[in-house]
Chain A
């Protein structure tokens, strides 16, 4: 099971990184989202993996999973939504303003060329 989680983190990281190196905004945003999953799962797993022991106190139960990483990751998930929304808005604004969704700064002549193509 540990192998599955660790490899899932690895796969998501690799996929996220690859998409982050793309040249257009949309894949980069998706790559960042993927990377966010990887980081969240990674942080969550720092409480080690436990099945069937949610941190809900009840009588007669003494084994609970680590609640702290869960609390931290919970807020991280919500915040990452806010950040994704901001990044998407910036990307969208840039595209609407210049008709160009490149991530990198374009040199002026290239920019004209790109505009001509689309």
Chain B
């Protein structure tokens, strides 16, 4: 009798993660077939529609890319912290904080020239997100408070703060007493790139590229790797662990805030409670699938954007948009399970084929 066993690889397989992601996608699509059949739909038609709506035309691509922007930036935010072994679960709130910063600048500088206003809005967005992350960063760096809990709880603070602003100070006088913020002026909106895509796509790609280069090519990135590998080694090498934790978490918040600014300026008419739309949490999945590497984040974000947009499009066929959420989750599970393959390889169990090792069953029958 021989069996398949997992054998640890000497070195992690290069290109194992894209492979795992592909397998995850396949698993998700196959399981999805059964889900769709079970709810009385034609899976092929649904998948075709999803593909067309997300990648079937330049217009579809523009919508997908717009969606990939907040996903990618939130993923980058999580990945920046994750590369040092820190978990920023607060990207959702930091996106809100960033959007609030940008919205405040838009209110103050409503008559500024577009370029200046947008630059100021995005700058304020970064500061907003960074400010929300500052508390957890200081607490973690200096007194060792678990950043998972503090960043998570501040999500609630950010959303309540926004509600308070929308219900009060920022309420649009023309909203007939609905709790809505004022509309953004046209000069506060990001210019279009192509079709529906806004220039935020380029800005996000740039941001991810900068972090990618910083992480892999600079002394700063090297220090981050050392600190993430072993804190005591970092101190030995003369790297201040406290300062690294502080900068990394604040930067992470800033990146998430930047996502909020772009989402507001590029994709919305006004700031609303739904602006962050779960991007901060989806970012955790994106970063995890990208193994905390900026280069992977971009690719995963585009694919997730496509799945989300495709999922929305099939609502017109009577399918719940939850299908796309289920698919995202299935991709995650499939990819994580398949990720084992980059660290292990499947082999025939040679040991069982050896005459000296009869199987338990055979030896049981020996008198």
Do A and B actually bind? no
Which residues from chain B sit less than 8 Å from chain A, CB to CB?
Answer: none
